[in-house]
Amino acid sequence: MSISNDQERQKPRPIEQHTTAAWANIERTKEISNVAIPSEVEVGNAKEWVDSNQK
């Protein structure tokens, strides 16, 4: 028994939850889009990590 294309499209896709991730440190969220805004410290940490891990 095979799954039809319609059934495949109707399957819910998993949504990752990053709100509890160690790197999140959410300072606030945008009102309408609910996008997480990290603190300035976390932005600096992310920039340091990217700068030190460039190829």
Kindly report, residue by residue over 1-26, the tens digit of the pLDDT: 555 566 667 777 767 666 556 556 78
- Among 3-7, 37-41, 47-51, which is the least confidently predicted range? 3-7
Confidence of residue 41 (pLDDT cuts 50, 70, 90): confident
Give the whole-angstrom CA distance, residue 19 versus residue 2: 37
Amino acid letter for position 18: H
For the chain, helix (H) and strand (E) counts, in that order, are 2, 2
